[in-house]
Amino acid sequence: MENTTTLHEHTIKGDVEDYIETKIDLIKLKTIDKTGSAVSGIIVGVVSAILGLFILQFLSFSAAYAISSATGHPYLGFLCVAGFYILLTVLLILLKEKLVTMPIINALLSKFYTSETQEE
C-alpha cells in the first residue's frame, strides 16, 4: 500500500513539474510573440512616418510653387501652404482627444482584448 502511494506521489510530482515547465515555456513564447509584434509594428510605423513626411514635403513644395506661379508672387504660395499647416495644427490641438487619443486607446484595447479572447 505504501509503495503505490509513493509511486502516485512521484507521478503527481512529475506531472506538476512538467505542467509548470510547460506553462513557463508557454509564457516565454507568448512574450516573444507579443514583443515581436510590437517591435515590428513600431518599425513599420516609423518607416511609414518617415516616408510619409518625405511625400508630404514634396507635395507641399509642389503646391507652394504652383500657387506662386498662379498668383505671380513667389512668396504667396509658401505663405498659403504655411497657413494651411497652421490651420491643421490648430484643429489637431483643438480636436486632439477625439482625433488622436481615443482612436489610439480603442486600437490598443481592441488588440489587447482580441488577443486575450483568442488565447482562451
**pLDDT tens readout for residues 23-48:** 999 999 988 888 888 788 889 999 99
Q: Are 99 and 92 in contact (CB under 8 A)?
A: yes
Using CA of residue 91, residue 95, residue 98, residue 102, what is the dihedral sign?
Answer: positive
- Encode pLDDT of 66-86 as tens digits: 999 999 998 999 999 999 999
pTM (two decimals): 0.63
Q: Are 109 and 93 in contact (CB under 8 A)?
A: no
Give 95's DSSP letter: T
- Domain containing 105 equals 2-119
Q: How many domains does the chain have?
A: 1
